[in-house]
Chains A and B, each alone.
Chain A
């Protein structure tokens, strides 16, 4: 009877957690083992993505011809190609590239002739800041509203929240961004149109000795509240545009999972002990639902980063996404490849962290 393992039928819709979720069984020490195995899984993921990007990008030819072809004569081009080593066998270049990535060297941009890693460090902070604020918006809006929708299931609050959620993720970030700009910056003139801070604030923050590139922290360091306000007001619209997109996904996710757990026996059992309906949602349904939710949130980081590219372009928020689209315009594929590779590493790492958090929350894994 117990020997036939039944795989739980995962609902097919949308983005669902990966198969790497921890299995229960096995007592004591399971968690450490799980962390180690899960950590080792990062490497094939990064390897696959980096290799894929390398091979795909190189099928179009060498990056120098792509960037400068037509502008330089054939001789000059060949000289540049040879100097950069792009005339060697592709396998040699591939192995070399993997080695470089391993040591944190992502190559040198063609258009600006700077190391890609330097570009990543300079602009990474801006993207991190945007992603942080957007996640904040997504959590604050998405999770409580998802619980409200589950609580009022099929009633009017639920109906309006579901429409709201669908609107949130049906609206491309660049469109909601443009609308916000139009309304709040152009017509109402209450918030800045674009950028991360006004020029004067940026200048002051540049002078800081211990500047981090995270403007919120830098602004606090200047000790000037006006600068902090300036930085924060600049962040409001981009964070809302990107955050609401993610919030829509979170809302739907929380609602579905909480409704699912509300139908379980243990919720009925708690109800039969006289536990209040509100507490049933908040404690009994939410906490077990959190485990799949967290796993899916990990996958949303990918969505968030994709969205960041569009948001940054819309708001001229000088982060990795903004630079990526600049490099794309300049057809600088070394830089593009570098940024994409770095994002692959970030995605793999954040998924690892999220999976570990999910495992730690689940007592069946912890003990």
Chain B
């Protein structure tokens, strides 16, 4: 008979949250990358929220108590990072820029997640001609340079001139359209895979309705990889936003601060050796994108048992047996430990073998 053995140590609810779970799972270099990425990202979000408090001046401020700032002032004194050709304070522009970037990321990613997940789920689950059409359309859009598409979209939305805060919205929506195919593809692929899993077939045999299967079985399992795509797309959103700004589709300096726009204005400065106007906004982009990418890549590695590193063990360590259970589970794949190595019917070590 089966003995009632104590259930395996189950991690607390907190520890099973995305990111925190991965943080526990990671080791060595991977943990270092993840932590570094999280710190940078947190810093970025804090700066964005606290910009009004941290920034010495407003993003469109041209004069302080001592009069006009003056254009292209070198770093030092009242202007730690100097001033731009337009006479703005570089430091303030950089700090305020975080706010614009964060806003665009949130809007763009949220919109594209909803549209992409819905389309991907329906398309992958039902298949048929709608699926085929959507796949061809999304593949076509996906293969197209995303920056060009964003340009076209931004022309459509704002007529190419973005002089209001609405310009931020325009940028966000342009980026959304670019991202929808990406979410669509990922969610669709996952849906198609999950659809052939035994537990979905089992639900079909039981007579569960399509909606019930989609919501209860497919959706939650298909969206497990979302945190990962979310991070990778956030960094792409920043780059696209900056690219738009650099090409003159950004947001006017009076509406908000945007790094790409500042870099565009700095092109001519560079030739005359004025470095501070381009260096600081550029570094801000690099830093934020790097931070978010580090998080995304770490999540990706941890989700893939082939790429995941593990703690080293001392000789003679560990208990014999019960190797089949992986607390918490992994994002995409089954247990990566002994399972991949031990052959035989399956990596199961049944309790009743001993009783």
Contact = CB atoms under 8 A, between A and B. Distances in A.
Given A11-B300, A259-B307, A44 B136 contact: yes
Interface in B263-309: 263-264, 266-267, 270-273, 275, 278-279, 282, 285-286, 289-290, 293-294, 296-297, 300, 303-304, 306-307, 309
Nearest to A10: B189
A115 interface: no
Contacts of B196: 4-7
A305 interface: yes
Interface of A: 4-7, 9-16, 18-20, 41, 44-45, 48-49, 52-53, 56-57, 59-60, 66, 154, 158-159, 162, 166-167, 169-172, 174-175, 178-179, 181-182, 185-187, 193-194, 252, 256, 259-260, 263, 298-299, 302-303, 305-307, 309-310, 313-314, 324-325, 328-329, 331, 333, 336, 340, 343-344, 347-348, 351
A261 B109 CA distance: 33
Contacts of B294: 166
Contact of A48 (B140, B186, B297): B140
The winner among B146, B249, B263 for most chain A CB atoms within 10 A is B263
B145 to A, nearest CB: 3
Contact of A13 (B156, B266, B290, B296): B296
Given A7-B192, A13-B232, A154-B29, A263 B144 contact: no
Contacts of A179: 278-279, 282
Given A13-B300, A175-B282, A310-B147, A66 B243 contact: no
B41 interface: no
B307 A175 contact: no
Contacts of B156: 56-57, 59-60
A208 to B, nearest CB: 30
A106 B322 CA distance: 68
21 contacts: A9-B189, A9-B190, A9-B332, A13-B296, A14-B232, A19-B135, A19-B189, A20-B139, A48-B137, A159-B29, A170-B235, A170-B293, A181-B271, A186-B273, A259-B306, A306-B243, A309-B247, A331-B160, A336-B151, A343-B144, A348-B143
B332 A178 contact: no
Interface of B: 28-29, 33, 135-137, 139-148, 151-153, 155-156, 159-160, 185-186, 189-190, 192-193, 196, 225, 228-229, 232, 235, 239, 242-243, 246-249, 260, 263-264, 266-267, 270-273, 275, 278-279, 282, 285-286, 289-290, 293-294, 296-297, 300, 303-304, 306-307, 309, 332-333, 340
Given A7-B196, A13-B232, A181-B271, A169 B293 contact: yes
Contact of B290 (A6, A167, A302): A167
Given A13-B228, A351-B143, A171 B246 contact: no
Contacts of A171: 282, 285-286, 289
Contacts of A309: 145, 147-148, 243, 247
The winner among B29, B246, B340 for most chain A CB atoms within 10 A is B246
B252 to A, nearest CB: 15
Chief secondary structure at chain B's binding surface: helix
Given A174-B246, A331-B160, 10 more contacts: A45-B143, A48-B136, A60-B156, A158-B29, A172-B286, A175-B278, A303-B146, A309-B145, A336-B151, A348-B143
Nearest 10 pairs between A and B by C-beta?
A: A306-B145, A175-B282, A306-B147, A170-B289, A12-B225, A170-B290, A13-B300, A48-B140, A45-B140, A302-B145
B41 to A, nearest CB: 13
B270 A178 contact: yes
B221 to A, nearest CB: 11
A139 B190 CA distance: 31
Contact of B136 (A13, A45, A333, A347): A45
